[in-house]
Amino acid sequence: MKIGAPKEIFAGEQRVALTPASATLLQKLGYECVVETGAGLGAGISDADYKDAGVTVVKTGAALWKASDIIIKVRAPEPVELKRFTSGQTLISFIWPAQSEELLEALNAKGVTTIAMDMVPRISRAQKMDALSSMANIGGYRAVIEAGNNFGRFFTGQITAAGKVPPAKVLVVGAGVAGLAAIGTATSLGAITYAFDVRPEVAEQIESMGAEFVYLDFEEEQADGAATGGYAAVSSPEFREKQLEKFRELAPDMDIVITTALIPGRDAPKLWLADMVAAMKSGSVVVDLAAEKGGNCDLTVMDEKIVSDNGVTIVGYTDFPSRMASQSSMLYANNIRHMLDDLTPDKDGKPNQNMDDDVIRSATVTHEGKITFPPPPLKVQAIAAQKPSAPVKTAEEIKAEEMAAMKAAGRKQTMLLIFGAAIMGVIGMYAPASFMQHFIVFVLAVFIGFQVIWNVSHALHTPLMAITNAISGIIIVGALLQVAGNGWLVTILAGIAVLIATINIVGGFMVTRRMLAMFQRS
Is residue 124 among the annotated active site residues? no
| Rounded Cα gap, residues 69 and 3, in angstroms | 6
The values of phi and psi at residue 390, to 5°, are -70, 145
Catalytic residue among 52, 99, 125, 127: 127
Is residue 411 annotated as a catalytic residue, yes or no?
Answer: no
127 tagged catalytic: yes
Closest C-alpha to 218, from 194, 234, 232, 237 = 237
Q: Give catalytic status of residue 141 as yes or no.
A: no
Closest CA to 114 of 89, 137, 134, 132: 89
Q: Which of 75, 122, 153, 240 is catalytic?
A: 122
Cβ–Cβ < 8 Å for 328, 322 = yes
CA proximity to 374, closest of 383, 363, 385, 382:
363
Q: Would strands 305-307 and 313-315 be described as parallel, antiparallel, or unpaired?
A: antiparallel
Q: Catalytic residue, from 27, 231, 240, 327: name it.
A: 231
Conformation bin of residue 208: beta by default, left when phi > 0, alpha when psi is -120 to 50: alpha
* Catalytic annotation present for 329: no
* Dmax (CA) of the chain: 112
The C-alpha atoms of residue 353 and residue 144 are separated, in whole angstroms, by 40
262 close to 294: Cβ distance less than 8 angstroms: no
Q: What residues contact 116, with CB distance under 8 A and at least 6 apart? A: 93, 94, 95, 96, 97, 363, 364, 365, 373
Which residue among 68, 89, 118, 130 is the active-site one? Answer: 130
Q: How many residues belong to the chain?
A: 522
Three-class DSSP labels, 309-343:
CCCCEEECCCCCCHHHHHHHHHHHHHHHHHHHHHH
Instruction: Exactly one of 22, 68, 133, 328 is catalytic; name it.
Output: 133
Q: Which residues are annotated as catalytic?
A: 122, 127, 130, 133, 231
